[in-house]
Amino acid sequence: MALRSRGRTAIKKVLKAIQAGDKEAATALFRQAVPEIDKLASKGLIAKNRAAHYKSRLNARLRAMS
């Protein structure tokens, strides 16, 4: 359960930084979130495609900030 919570928190932190308009912080947080998301998928807590979906959507929002 702790791993799942860490993954969710990492995603929320990235989204919060994106909403605040802080691209540098959002990028740094995204780099920290990706391994957390991958861990969730490797442990079977979320599906591989779901992990890819999270990473893709977060990255798309980061790219849209410029």
pTM above 0.85, yes or no: yes
Decide if 16 contacts 44 (C-beta within 8 A).
no
- Pick the closest to residue 26 from 41, 34, 37, 16 (CA basis): 16
Summarize pLDDT for 1-46 with one digit per residue, the tens.
799 999 999 999 999 999 999 999 999 999 999 999 999 999 999 9
CATH classification of the domain holding 37: 1.20.58.110
Name the domain count of the chain: 1
- Pick the closest to residue 26 from 52, 53, 56, 63 (CA basis): 63
- Pick the closest to residue 10 from 66, 46, 63, 49 (CA basis): 46
Q: Which domain does 49 fall in, by range?
A: 2-64
